[in-house]
Structure 1
Amino acid sequence: MKNKRIQAIAGAFVLTLIAAGILAVYIVKNMPNKNMVEPYDIPQTRLVIGDKWLKDTAPPFLEGNQIFLPFDTIKKYIDNYIWYDDVLDKVTITTKDRVIRMKTGSLEALINERPMELKFSVQRKNDILYVPIDFLDDLYGISLNYIAENDVVTIDYNNMVYRTAWPNDARTYIRTGESIKEPIVKKYKGQGKDELELPRSSQTSLIVFEESEEWYRVRTYDGVLGYVKKDEVTISGSQYTIETEEEKKPPVLTDGKINLVWDMTYSKKNIQLSAEKTPGIDVISPTWFEIIDREGTIKNRATPEYMEYAHKNGWQVWALFSNAFSDIEGTSIILNNSDLRQEIIRNVLAYASIYKLDGINIDFENIYKSDKDAYTQFVREFYPLAKEQGLYVSVDVSVPDGSDTWSKCFDRKALAESVDYVCLMTYDQHWASSPNAGSTAELSWVEENLQKTLTEVPAEKLLLGVPLYTRLWSQSKEDGKLSSVALGVQSAWSNVEDNEAVVAWNDVSGQYQTSYEKEGTTYQMWIEDKNAVNMKTSLIHKYDLAGACVWAANFADENVFMIFERNLKQVDSYEEWQTYYSEPIMDK
């Protein structure tokens, strides 16, 4: 009896061991792998096209913010027709309407056989030919992105259809393969009391490429490739590009009063512009394109980084395009040659396409009066081609009744009929070498010239010029010689404080004015600051103009943008401005 009991106990023990073993095997077999591994195991910049990591190709590299891809990679995966001439050491790219030729190491390219300056060149590195890809993404119809966190460049074709998925919660894992036994390459940090909640955002979105019975092949926002279980994510509808609609669409131009701010990109700024610190900007106009010779060669100062920053801040970019102010004869030659006009227009619009501009601001100055009609014809030829690309076109004109070459050379009425907006340069009433000291732009002078211009230009197309620079005039008592320097808002008021000068408000000029003597020299200023801006922008409501154009961001302080924001975006009428804001404020 005792032996039977022992045998029963032993049998039960054996069965327990077997059951425990089976359970252990089951647990081990079905226990998810919780080990984390690096998503990329090669220490170099990686290239991912769609859901494919190109391990066996030469890596891309970055120079500044420019992405360079190996020529062979472009030829195999993006453009089968890209061509390299090893004798001439040139790369040629052809599209439906362009032939682009780039010589290795040269910043000068030929686009449709016309020279154009680039910011980036074809390079040879470690005996591998590299092509800058950033400015070609629009031509190739690809979306390009660099994710610094994982040192990966991603490329997607804009005509491909993808689905988007979102993790259900922080228990969603991205794995290296289609099994819970595969290690994890991406997991999420949740929110809330239980730290499981994940908000839906671009940072948590997953691009879905393929699917099997239980798994999706995905790529994360930060460029990680892997697999996710279907029951751990929620699928949305389809989208046609990797970029979100918000990222692709440029900022929309306001329906209200427009504020265009010129940016002298060849000169330093006193403050950093941003939507937060300098509100009230709708359009930024960088001084990017300039004709530099009589053959129509265009100097290019544009950068993709500037475009990206502007759009992120909600500003449209209307690049300024100018003639050579100092070569009036060269301008005449170009304006009177239809072939040169055509080539210049074609090249400017090619740049507009490359940099994805929102508009062009045409700034031709110092023109023969006899070339008035030729200039109008140039603008008339430019406009329809620019509109075909979806661009806004504005043109700059000086005030009426000035000199032949700086004022009477503009047919303001005809130009207004040929463009979207006319920028009236109501400043330089007293220019740098003026024989008399005086204001950059007295309020009464501005209003008088505005009234004259409105007889030729419709109010709904007119942007009123607002200067932000003050001329510090100095006149020696010894020889009477008069000279001036241009100061920004901060520098003008610093000059007042440093010299303990007395300022007084001038109702006629709509500015604070000062005069002081020092070491045998008399100094005078009519200060362009937030108070002067306040007075001038009131005229935009008084005459129901389209908005303002401001020269220039480089002279500004943050206070003037608070006035632009208030007067152009918040004040509804001239009567409202008169009631609440018509008095000057004495603080810097």
Structure 2
Amino acid sequence: MYKIETSKQKPPAKKLIFAGLLFAIILIASSVFMLLYPFASKEKVSYFKGNHPILFNGKQEGNAIINGESIYLPLTFLQEFIDESIIFDEDSQSVIIATTNKVVQMPLESFTYYMNEKPLKLDFSAAKQIGKDRYLAIEPLLAFYPINYSILPKTGAVWVQKNGDTLVSGKVQDKDIHEELLRLRTNASLDSPYTDSVSPKEKVLIEQEKGDYYFIRKEDGTAGYLKKQYIKKGEIKQVAISLEESVNTVPIMQGPIQLTWEAVYTKNPNTSKIPKMPGVNVISPTWFELADEKGSIKNLGSKDYSKWARKQGYQIWGLFSNAFDPVLTHEAFGSFETRKNMIRQLLHFSQMYELNGVNLDIENVNPEDGPFITQFVREATPYFHEAGLVVSMDITFISSSGNWSAFYEREKLAEITDYMVVMAYDEHWGSSQVAGSVASLPWVEENLKQLLKVVPNDKLILGVPLYTRLWEQKQNGDVSSKALSMSKVKEWLSQNKITPVYDPESGQNYAEHYSEKDKITYKVWLEDEISLSKRAELARKYNLAGVAGWSRYFADETAWAALTLNNKGVTKK
């Protein structure tokens, strides 16, 4: 037999290389699989919709119009995000803007717009209408609002920024990163569609964080989610935009306000018969009243009265009322031109009678017309301030009474005016079928606390009644009343030999008398030194700007001392 010898042979080198490559490919494929699992979506979607998208607060908010070199923003966008008080006036076909010291009228399709009634020329229309939509040119707006804008490359997006916006810069890592991982996703997940891609070392803005992802934005405005590990966070900056806006200086009251209204219905009082009113520093005669739907104003002003008031050292805040007529108010206050007419007349009267301020007494208004009233105050205040006039407005407590309460946009009005005067009385109206106090102290304080939630205390003046109601209750249950002055109530008490007693429930002195002759029970809750002192104490307790009494005619000599506020604990305006 033959002996056969065998020996081990080395595999060819090529086989080893092939096996190694195969292993490497499998390893890489497995890694990619693991990296991209769940599988990265290849669906690409558009980030912006339509031409010239508006980028604001990290989102598209509508679309701009570009006409030549002028950029126009939709009025709806401006109202929602920049200034909700911008309005369109149908009668004048104009957009109206009112800032703290400017009233701007931009007629549609006009190369001229008006700022505080002064015409300004442009090379383009400040306001346009396209179909049913209205647009404003952005360039003039930069003078009124702390905003700026830029047109972004490639997308043509209009990026609108506002003062105080925070910008966080970032940069894509300079690494060899798979392209699938550099796509900006619509959600913080690889399996969501993508809007665009970024490249290594590309500069971006970081706007949000969500789990392991940043929401980033490219220089062209497109944006999406990218994993944090691929972004290097940079510096944080704030957008700073300042407006060169002059501020109209209004004379500041020295110490707390003590106002009294002078009720003028047909003619002014004989000033020689008006007694001294120690502590009073503002007098508000009811001189001006809306006369017709065109905004004409009835004038009962008196230069002699004005001269007398100044000689006494009083500031004069002329009162303007809407005649408490809801129909007339709707017609006159609903149009820019009629509002402007009223403002012009009041400015003229303020010069004629050398007024220091204007007191607006707008009452009995349909709730849906409330915005007209706010707009009037918004448009009037810049002019009044320019003339050096203090602007105050009378309001009621918050209640469900529509025409007498619901129409007041108190929070907005408080931002515009210098002072708000709350008429803290008529808890029981003259026509009430239940006898009661004109304004019991607990009722006043509880309502005051609610009002202070929307009106700052340093702007609020507490209106107090200087009259009381003498109630008559017949045996059949009928109730009626009449308003009496402080001195007349004292006469009635003396004539009937009645001594009032303190009523802790109302915080006032109370008197009751039954007349055998008339078969009537008389009831009265007094306004006297006790009640007025307590009302003044409420002003001190809540650090209010002052007190105001309705009206001078009803007061006696004890009222002024009772209402005088010392400086301690009372807000100075």
TM-score range, shorter chain: 0.5 to 0.7
Please show how residues 346-495 of structure 1 align to structure 2 within 5 Å. Answer: 346-477=344-475, 479-495=476-492
Give the match for residue 316 of structure 1. Answer: 315
Q: Is the 8 A contact 2:463 2:549 kept in 1?
A: yes
RMSD: 2.3
| 2:341 match: secondary structure | helix
The aligned residue for residue 553 of structure 1 is 552
CA displacement, residues 29-75 of structure 1 (integer Å, 9 cap, x when unaligned): xxxxxxxxxxxxxxxxxxxxxxxxxxxxxxxxxxxxxxxxxxxxxxx
Q: CA deviation at 1:493?
A: 1.3
* Cα pair distance change 1:304/1:427, threshold 3 Å: same
Q: Is the 8 A contact 1:421 1:462 kept in 2?
A: yes
Query: For residues 565-585 of structure 1, what are the alpha-carbon distances to aligned partners after superposition, in whole Å with 9 as ceiling and x for unaligned?
Result: 3xx136x249xxxxxxxxxxx
Rate the CA distance shift 1:368–1:276 in 2: closer, same or farther, 3 A: closer
* Match among 551, 566, 569 for residue 569 of structure 1: 566
- Give the counterpart of 1:497 among 489, 494, 499: 494
Contact 2:271-2:305 at 8 Å conserved across structures: no
Same amino acid, percent of matched pairs: 41
Structure 1: gaps spanning 5 or more residues: 1-111, 113-250, 575-588
Question: 2-side partners of 1:288 and 1:511: how far apart?
Answer: 33
- How many angstroms apart in 2 are the aligned matches of 1:426 and 1:322? 18
Could you tell me whether the CA contact under 8 Å between 1:269 and 1:553 is conserved in 2?
no
- Measured in 2, the distance between the counterparts of 1:462 and 1:354 equals 28
- Deviation digits for residues 419-478 of structure 1, max 9, x if unmatched? 00000000011011012110000000010111011000000000001110000000111x
Cα distance in 1 between the residues matched to 2:333 and 2:560:
37
2:85 maps to what in 1? none
Q: Is the 8 A contact 1:275 1:313 kept in 2?
A: no
Pairwise mapping of residues 48-127 of structure 1 onto structure 2 (< 5 A)? none
The 3-state SS of whatever aligns with 1:525 is strand
What is the alpha-carbon distance in structure 1 between the residues aligned to residue 268 and residue 466 of structure 2?
12
Distance in 1 separating the partners of 2:369 and 2:345: 22
CA contact under 8 A between 2:468 and 2:524: conserved in structure 1? yes
Residue in 2 that maps onto 1:520:
519
* CA deviation profile, 1:66-88 (whole Å, cap 9, x unmatched): xxxxxxxxxxxxxxxxxxxxxxx
SS for the counterpart of 2:403 is coil
| Length, aligned pairs only | 320
1:533 corresponds to which residue?
532
Letter matched to residue 491 of structure 2: S
Please say if residues 261 and 285 of structure 2, whose CA atoms lie closer than 8 Å, have aligned partners that are also in contact: yes
Matching residue's letter, 2:509: Y
Q: How does 1:73-472 map to 2 (within 5 A)?
A: 254-266=253-265, 277-325=276-324, 327-472=325-470
SS in 2 for 1:395: strand
The structure-2 alpha-carbon separation of the partners of 1:255 and 1:447, relative to structure 1 and needing over 3 Å to count, comes to same
CA distance, structure 2, for counterparts of residue 544 and residue 291 of structure 1: 34
Report the Cα distance in structure 1 between the residues aligned to 2:439 and 2:400, rounded to whole angstroms.
Answer: 15
SS of the equivalent of 2:437 reads coil
4+ long deviations beyond 4 Å: 267-276
- Tell me by how many angstroms 1:271 deviates: 10
Instruction: Look up the equivalent residue of 2:450 and give its one-letter code.
Output: K
Answer whether contact 1:270 1:555 (CA < 8 A) is retained.
no
Change in CA separation of 1:267 and 1:464 when aligned onto 2, cut-off 3 Å: farther
Q: Secondary structure at the match of 2:509?
A: strand
Which residue identity does 1:285 align to in structure 2? Answer: S
CA deviation profile, 1:175-199 (whole Å, cap 9, x unmatched): xxxxxxxxxxxxxxxxxxxxxxxxx
Counterpart-to-counterpart distance in 2, 1:382 and 1:270: 29
When the two structures are superposed, what TM-score results if normalisation uses the length of structure 1? 0.52
SS in 1 for 2:566: helix
Cα distance in 2 for partners of 1:458, 1:375 equals 20
Distance 1:455 1:505, change over 3 A: same
Does the CA contact (< 8 Å) of 1:307 and 1:355 recur in 2? yes
Asked whether the 8 Å contact 1:271–1:557 carries over to 2, the reply is: no
Partner of 1:169: none
**1-structure distance, mates of 2:291, 2:435:** 33
Cα separation, partners in 2 of 1:292 and 1:276, compared to 1, 3 Å: closer
- In structure 2, C-alpha distance between the alignment counterparts of 1:562 and 1:271, rounded to whole Å: 23
Q: Does structure 2 retain, via aligned residues, the 8 Å contact 1:275–1:314? A: no
Q: Which residue of 1 aligns with 2:191?
A: none
In 2: Cα distance, 1:436 partner to 1:269 partner: 35
Check 1:516–1:265 CA distance in 2 against 1; reply closer, same or farther (3 A cut): same
Tell me the equivalent position of 1:542: 541
CA contact under 8 A between 1:253 and 1:316: conserved in structure 2? no
Tell me, in whole angstroms, the C-alpha distance in 1 between the residues paired with 2:277 and 2:271. Answer: 8
Q: Flag the 1:449–1:480 CA change in 2: closer, same or farther, 3 A.
A: same
Change (3 A) 1:443 1:269: farther
In the TM superposition, residue 510 of structure 1 has moved relative to its aligned partner by 2.0
